[in-house]
Amino acid sequence: MKTALITGGSRGIGAGVARALARDGWRVVLSGRADSEKGRETASAIGATFLPADLREEAQVQQLFAAAGEIDALICCAGVAHYGLLQDMTDAQWQDVFSVNTEGVFRCCRAAIPGMVRKKSGCIVTVSSVWGEHGASCEAAYSASKAAVIGLTKALAKELGPSGIRVNCVAPGVIDTDMLLPLTAQDKAELAESTPLGRLGTPADVAEAVAFLVSERAAFITGQTLGIDGGFAL
């Protein structure tokens, strides 16, 4: 049985990915905040393992990977958002967004790669955003951090391809998760109207794409950024 480690697996897209991979027969290890009851509940419901870790801290990332054991797939779903004008952001706020969204991916990939290289197999899926490709007003830090994830994905695909490791990215559009909590119902309705398919996305929409990318059906796909946005970016 293959093992997948999913960061940010407590809720939203990460929890959706966990459910999809468990359904597909993977051994699933979820990572989330230490105080995440949702993470533990999700893990219990699907027969997965929950391991707490703060991806801002290298020591905790190392502990996470040591506890997870040998993995065949890494899916980097952990992320934070910040809403507001760039001119009003503090250095600490900017750094916090990058520490999770970009540096957390870097730390996890760095920890996962040696074992995959030894086996000459494995796959990594990162989670960017439509804003990482197109930018969003009042979300400069988030957009920049997610754009960096796309660049990292492409570089790693070239770096790791000779070792038989595939690296791909998904770029969700407007997905109905807790990240939308600051938005009003009217805001959500307008975003749905701006989406050609006429609705917001769900975690399951993204999860099915990730399940495909980590499967053998995607054996010749690497270095790609797959938009899962209902046509929002068109």
Coil, strand or helix at 58: helix
Tokens coding 62: 């190392």
Q: Evaluate whether 88 touches 19 at the Cβ level (below 8 Å).
A: no
204, 150, 199: which is closest to 174 by C-alpha?
Answer: 199
User: Largest Cα–Cα distance of the chain, in whole Å?
Assistant: 51
224 φ/ψ angles, rounded to the nearest 5 degrees: -100, 150
Q: Evaluate whether 1 touches 24 at the Cβ level (below 8 Å).
A: no
Q: Beta-strand (E) ranges in 1-69?
A: 3-7, 27-32, 49-52
CB atoms < 10 A from the CB of 87, how many? Answer: 6
22: Cβ contacts below 8 Å, ≥ 6 apart:
28, 46, 47, 48
3-state secondary structure 200-215: CECHHHHHHHHHHHCC
CB atoms < 10 A from the CB of 233, how many? Answer: 14
Our answer to whether residue 142 is catalytic in this structure is yes
Catalytic residue among 26, 50, 98, 142: 142
**Active-site residues: which are they?**
142
